[in-house]
């Protein structure tokens, strides 16, 4: 098996590993986002409940003030019935009118407070409903996370061990290059050579779409790790790609690349500069 084919095996398993982790990360981030929304609702509920409590106290105090004014009015009426002089009667009447005005003011205020209380009660009730709904979303998200985590755990362990086995078969320097490229470019760390026109020696890098030289293709055909001179990705041929896809556990060494180059004009030896950068 060529170095390129070995690198491609590691790259493919690595892609699956990254894919699995991405799904778990997405589920975890959704759960965290839902929990944050729930906590926001809870703080708004707490604030609205505190305001509601204050409004209730205020209404209760207005009610007791109204009752106390009513009691004073009743007493003054009683006293008015027993007055002997006009002067006394006028004084009581004036006090009575002033109390009625006070009562009106308290009642107007009380009405406003009652409306505010009603609106606050509605806010608290709405928030309670939203909290219950969000709570079940959070629980579902957490369960989903746990399920995904459990599902992925076995597959992750399996893939990691598969990757370790495959990586052990790759030259350490090449593996390091691949790992650096994966960290920097993810799925574009390796790219297939795209054949534009075999007879006129036209090939493109599948990642950056720039033209590849005959020297690059020649080097790749020899099986050594070959990088695109433009984007620096590690190149592979479609034959290696097919082998890797159809037989993921034990891909056979590709035979085709040499045939590909033999059709090309025999290029001079691949320049050393194209070796690993
Ligand atoms: Zn490229």
In this prediction, residue 239 carries a pLDDT of 72
Measured in angstroms, how far is the CA atom of residue 212 from the centroid of ligand 1? 8
**Tens digit of each residue's pLDDT (9 = 90 or more) over 146-157:** 998 898 888 899
The two three-digit tokens of residue 24, written as one number: 């778990």
Q: How many helices (H) and strands (E) does the chain have?
A: 6, 4
In this prediction, residue 240 carries a pLDDT of 65
In this prediction, residue 49 carries a pLDDT of 96
**Tens digit of each residue's pLDDT (9 = 90 or more) over 96-113:** 999 999 999 999 999 999
State the Cα–Cα distance between residues 70 and 74, nearest whole angstrom. 6
In this prediction, residue 253 carries a pLDDT of 41
Measured in angstroms, how far is the CA atom of residue 221 from the centroid of ligand 1? 17
State the Cα–Cα distance between residues 27 and 163, nearest whole angstrom. 24
The residue that leads in pLDDT, 172 or 252, is 172
Helix (H) / strand (E) element for 213: namely: none
**Tens digit of each residue's pLDDT (9 = 90 or more) over 240-256:** 665 544 444 433 444 44
**Torsion 22-25-27-30 (CA) sign:** negative
Q: 236 in helix, strand or coil?
A: strand
In this prediction, residue 23 carries a pLDDT of 80
In this prediction, residue 259 carries a pLDDT of 42
Measured in angstroms, how far is the CA atom of residue 210 from the centroid of ligand 1? 6
Would you call 277 exposed, middle or buried from its count of C-beta atoms within 10 A (0-12, 13-18, 19+)? exposed
Q: Compute the average pLDDT of residues 70-88.
A: 92
In this prediction, residue 241 carries a pLDDT of 60
Measured in angstroms, how far is the CA atom of residue 189 from the centroid of ligand 1? 10
Measured in angstroms, how far is the CA atom of residue 257 from the centroid of ligand 1? 18
Measured in angstroms, how far is the CA atom of residue 203 from the centroid of ligand 1? 11
Measured in angstroms, how far is the CA atom of residue 25 from the centroid of ligand 1? 30
Q: What are phi and psi for residue 235, nearest 5 degrees?
A: -95, 150
Shortest CA distance to 230 belongs to which of 211, 257, 250? 211
The secondary structure of residue 210, as a DSSP letter, is -
State the Cα–Cα distance between residues 150 and 32, nearest whole angstrom. 18
Mean pLDDT of the chain: 87
Q: Compute the average pLDDT of residues 62-71.
A: 94
Which residues in 23-33 are b (16+ Cβ under 10 Å) and which e?
Answer: ebeebbeebee
Measured in angstroms, how far is the CA atom of residue 232 from the centroid of ligand 1? 6
Q: Compute the average pLDDT of residues 172-186.
A: 95
**Tens digit of each residue's pLDDT (9 = 90 or more) over 23-48:** 888 999 999 999 999 999 999 999 99
In this prediction, residue 65 carries a pLDDT of 93
- The partner residues of 227 in beta bridges, in order of sequence, read 234
Measured in angstroms, how far is the CA atom of residue 242 from the centroid of ligand 1? 20
Measured in angstroms, how far is the CA atom of residue 5 from the centroid of ligand 1? 18
Whether the Cβ atoms of residue 1 and residue 240 lie closer than 8 Å to each other: no
Q: Indicate whether 273 pLDDT > 50.
A: no
Measured in angstroms, how far is the CA atom of residue 238 from the centroid of ligand 1? 15
In this prediction, residue 199 carries a pLDDT of 87
Q: Indicate whether 67 pLDDT > 50.
A: yes
Which domains, and CATH codes, for the chain? 12-168 (1.10.287.1490), 175-274 (no CATH)
Q: Indicate whether 276 pLDDT > 80.
A: no
Q: Indicate whether 204 pLDDT > 90.
A: yes
Measured in angstroms, how far is the CA atom of residue 165 from the centroid of ligand 1? 28
Percent above pLDDT 90 for the chain: 73
Measured in angstroms, how far is the CA atom of residue 217 from the centroid of ligand 1? 13
Measured in angstroms, how far is the CA atom of residue 29 from the centroid of ligand 1? 33
Measured in angstroms, how far is the CA atom of residue 208 from the centroid of ligand 1? 4
């Amino acid at each position: 098996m060529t170095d390129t084919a070995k690198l491609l095996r590691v790259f493919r398993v690595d892609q699956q590993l990254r894919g699995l982790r991405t799904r778990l990360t997405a589920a975890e981030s959704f759960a965290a986002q839902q929990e944050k929304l729930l906590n926001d609702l809870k703080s708004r509920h707490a604030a609205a409940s505190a305001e509601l409590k204050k409004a209730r106290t205020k209404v209760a105090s207005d009610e007791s003030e109204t009752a106390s004014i009513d009691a004073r009015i009743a007493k003054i009426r009683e006293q008015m019935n027993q007055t002997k002089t006009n002067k006394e009667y006028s004084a009581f009447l004036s006090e009575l009118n002033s109390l009625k005005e006070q009562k009106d003011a308290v009642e107007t205020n009380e009405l406003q407070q009652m409306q505010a209380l009603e609106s606050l009660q509605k806010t608290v009730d709405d928030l309670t409903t939203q909290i219950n709904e969000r709570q079940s979303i959070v629980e579902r998200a957490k369960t989903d996370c746990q399920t995904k985590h459990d599902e992925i755990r076995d597959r992750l362990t399996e893939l990691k061990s598969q990757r370790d086995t495959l990586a052990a078969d790759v030259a350490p320097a090449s593996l390091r290059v691949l790992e650096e490229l994966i960290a920097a470019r993810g799925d574009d760390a390796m790219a297939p050579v795209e054949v534009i026109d075999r007879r006129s020696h036209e090939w493109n890098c599948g990642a950056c779409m720039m033209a590849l030289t005959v020297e690059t293709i020649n080097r790749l055909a020899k099986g050594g790790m070959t990088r695109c001179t433009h984007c620096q990705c590690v190149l592979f041929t479609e034959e290696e790609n097919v082998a890797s896809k159809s037989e993921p556990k034990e891909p056979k060494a590709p035979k085709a690349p040499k045939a590909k180059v033999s059709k090309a004009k025999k290029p001079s030896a691949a320049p050393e500069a194209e070796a690993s950068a």
